[in-house]
Structure 1
């Protein structure tokens, strides 16, 4: 999808940790489950509040108020990785091939350009800023595809530092939230109709929940168009991960300590399988409803776990350059999306 730079030859391979025992997972999973239950209730009472974004904030606040007990860490790490992948796979049940195709070839071409151009441009700007390849790639994919879920999915395939992932997650929340208010405002200033504004919002905003908020604020038929454009970006997570996996496998050849990731991770295969299954029209509405709630709950759990890794001291250590890249990437992706929306809207 875009040309990726080679991994640094000196980068140590991330060892595969042995799976923790179930009993070690229970404390962290119990705390995570309680938080998810509360946030899902809040979302039920206030549907406009995204439990995913709120979970990141709650996790970050909890982690910075006091040091979390070490016994919680195995369950939190399990949620941030394994639970996240199940949630991403279930995202496939939100997408049908027919809905995506219904956007038309022009809009689909714009979506491809947004993702490919967004990743390429962000990688290039990050290189000029002197950021590591892994930090650049996490920000590029998070801001160009589907936010924290995309960044975490990519993190499972590359040798990124923990603080690089949590930094990306925090930046997704900050800049995606800013776009919720900014894009509807600018859409009105520019005099965009609902369809054009919806394409812009769906192509520019980072998280699915943020897209829903921005599309709803524009009004008219913008919400439906925005969500479909965003889901088209989500579908492109699969080929992007395949490209990343291929590149990492190529770089790992000849290194005795390297562990090559799968070319296409299993959860991506499951995601595509669910897309095909949903597109057949054979899945009952009741099952889709339950799956939708489960997917939201699982991703909320993963976002809370990721949020607990967002520590102010760690963000200070990484310095201002990721913040600068996030700002530049947001402007870049938004500009591509606006140009495409004006062209095909």
Structure 2
């Protein structure tokens, strides 16, 4: 079986598993990386599949990120308001900076710390794999980062609805808090709609606004990687520029001026998720548990620290915004 067919098969299996009791709370991307890791470590990824797996991790991933832009419009960003956008941006930047600082403090390698920072501050697994196009960390780092954002995002998904009443958050404030701080889009939707229809819709829009910030974040990391490479005396071209992210921005612009029929949009969303799921399956197929265990528990503590920071910082900001 070719690598492309293998990743597509795993992605299809992940989609199917979501319909079974006990699996509905997990995104297919998360299920795919787990299946991929199990297959690689129990059966072994065939040598003949390596090229197709690499294609899924690179070309398929980048095309999926471009398509992700069709899930957001400028009008949706406007609904969040200047204050809401500023709050989301401040939360993102502060969380990213805090995570890198904490990573240095507890001795987590910068590439892995960057992936955990991106996944926590922006949009979970999608941000992890997009950021890795410039960070270029080992696949084990990607798997560890995805595991972190999955675990703590899931905790937030179940825990936030229990806190809404005690924190005195109305539907608008609760939606903004979920959208500004929970990791995955699916996790935001699940948690936000527990606060009612208005909270769910606003939380989703806030989260998609946060997803849009993936583009400038990845480009900034690419420029920083180039600067570090040049400063170390290596060739300036050593760190790639994520030009595909500009495609993401172009799709946001297109979606803002062209009305896509609901049926077509639903199909695009499903296709985008499926392609991202294939990319995560490929990551799993390249992940060696022995190397993952060698990372130790420090990155898990980093993920926990990042989660607690983004939850607390965004909540305080929502309270201040009123």
Q: What's the TM-score, normalizing by structure 2?
A: 0.91
Deviation per CA, 1:131-186: give whole Å up to 9, x if none.
22212111111110111221211211124233222211111211111111111112
Deviation at 1:49, TM superposition (A): 5.1
- In 2: Cα distance, 1:91 partner to 1:83 partner: 12
Q: Which residue number in structure 2 is paired with residue 166 of structure 1?
A: 143
1:249 to 2:226 alignment: yes
1:37 to 2:12 alignment: yes
- Maintained 8 Å contact 1:167/1:310: no
- In 1: Cα distance, 2:184 partner to 2:285 partner: 19
- Maintained 8 Å contact 1:134/1:160: yes
- In 2: Cα distance, 1:106 partner to 1:69 partner: 52
Deviation at 1:208, TM superposition (A): 1.1
Matched residues, number: 319
1:297 to 2:274 alignment: yes
Deviation per CA, 1:279-318: give whole Å up to 9, x if none.
0033333332221121111011112222334443222200
- In 1: Cα distance, 2:125 partner to 2:134 partner: 15
1:233-312 equivalent positions in 2, closer than 5 A: 233-253=210-230, 255-257=233-235, 259-263=237-241, 265-312=242-289
Change (3 A) 1:193 1:153: same
Deviation at 1:48, TM superposition (A): 5.8
Residue 113 (structure 1) aligned to one of 82, 90, 99: 90
- Maintained 8 Å contact 1:170/1:310: no
Residue 3 (structure 2) aligned to one of 28, 43, 52: 28
Change (3 A) 1:221 1:60: farther
- In 2: Cα distance, 1:78 partner to 1:170 partner: 22
Change (3 A) 1:278 1:174: same
Q: Which residue number in structure 1 is paired with residue 185 of structure 2?
A: 208
Q: Which residue number in structure 1 is paired with residue 296 of structure 2?
A: 319
- In 1: Cα distance, 2:76 partner to 2:179 partner: 14
- In 1: Cα distance, 2:106 partner to 2:128 partner: 20
1:184-223 equivalent positions in 2, closer than 5 A: 184-223=161-200
- In 2: Cα distance, 1:293 partner to 1:323 partner: 31
- In 1: Cα distance, 2:290 partner to 2:195 partner: 37
Change (3 A) 1:262 1:314: closer
- In 2: Cα distance, 1:304 partner to 1:162 partner: 11
Which one has a larger percent helix, Structure 1 or Structure 2? 2
Residue 102 (structure 2) aligned to one of 121, 125, 129: 125
Residue 152 (structure 2) aligned to one of 175, 185, 197: 175
- Maintained 8 Å contact 2:139/2:283: no
1:149 to 2:97 alignment: no
Gaps of 5+ in 1: 1-25
Please report the RMSD computed on the Cα atoms of aligned residues, expressed in angstroms. Answer: 2.1
- Maintained 8 Å contact 1:252/1:258: yes
Q: Which residue number in structure 2 is paired with residue 20 of structure 1?
A: none
Gaps of 5+ in 2: none
Q: Which residue number in structure 2 is paired with residue 331 of structure 1?
A: 308
- In 1: Cα distance, 2:250 partner to 2:76 partner: 16
Deviation at 1:206, TM superposition (A): 0.9
- In 1: Cα distance, 2:113 partner to 2:97 partner: 10
